[in-house]
Amino acid sequence: MSTDTLTLALSKGRIFDETLPLLRAAGIEVLEDPQTSRKLILPTNRPGVRVVLVRATDVPTYVEHGGADLGVCGKDTLIEHAAAWGGSAHVGLYEPLDLGIARCRMSVAVPAEFDYARAVRQGARLRVATKYVAIAREFFAAKGVHVDLIKLYGSMELAPLTGLADAIVDLVSTGNTLKANRLVEVERIMDISSRLVVRPASLKVKGALIRPLLDAFAQALGHAAPQP
């Protein structure tokens, strides 16, 4: 990868939209709209800075393995990525800033008629559908609740409605989707926000490009400049 080009990995949607003001604070404008452009690499007003559009779950992989120098992704994604590769100690990512964007929460939800508290109290073995297997496994293990985890990639809300699962672990923002499907939140596992992640090798080689960006992000957020 060129030492005079900075590549930022973003996913379409809320994270992209909420990262734009931070980029503007650093004097960077993305020149094309990902909703209308067919390009996967978007130019900016800075010749040496570009944005690559990838799936949210792929952002840590692109940064870790050099497809991008830095990226923005949810804490949930980082936890699951680290678990898949043997723990955070084995993942080559520097996480300097919590950007505080794309806020939501990771929660347990069940059908309104299901007595979750009683099932847990009686030591029932629960079937739990989720995309976030590592987070769910650690949460229920810490509570001493026995679960069978069912990994899904699509709409989690469907699993309890079809009898596939007793509960789901999923991201919740407004809770409207849960209500529409007669599900209720019964436990809040953690709050989630999006983080800036940087490839340590890029920071060493391209520090003159990356550090001003980190400082501008930190200033826009009212944080102290991150120290590597």
Please report the domains of the chain, with CATH numbers, ordered by start residue.
Answer: 6-103+192-221 (3.40.190.10), 105-191 (3.40.190.10)
Token pair for 33: 């709209």
Give me the percent of the chain exceeding a pLDDT of 70: 96
Range picked from 33-37, 80-84, 88-92, 129-133 for highest mean pLDDT:
129-133
Confidence (pTM): 0.90
DSSP state of 44: B
Amino acid in the structure at residue 59: V
- CA–CA dist 149, 6 (Å, integer): 40
Token pair for 126: 């629960």
Nearest to 74 by CA among 50, 90, 95, 49: 95
- CA–CA dist 176, 86 (Å, integer): 35
Nearest to 69 by CA among 213, 161, 214, 206: 206
Residue range 160-189, pLDDT digits in tens: 999 999 999 999 999 999 999 999 999 999
Selected residue with higher pLDDT from 36 and 29: 29
- CA–CA dist 206, 212 (Å, integer): 11
Give the phi and the psi of residue 138 in degrees, each rounded to 5. Answer: -65, -40
Scan for tokens 């229920």, then name that residue. 140
Selected residue with higher pLDDT from 58 and 35: 58
pLDDT in the model for residue 35: 87
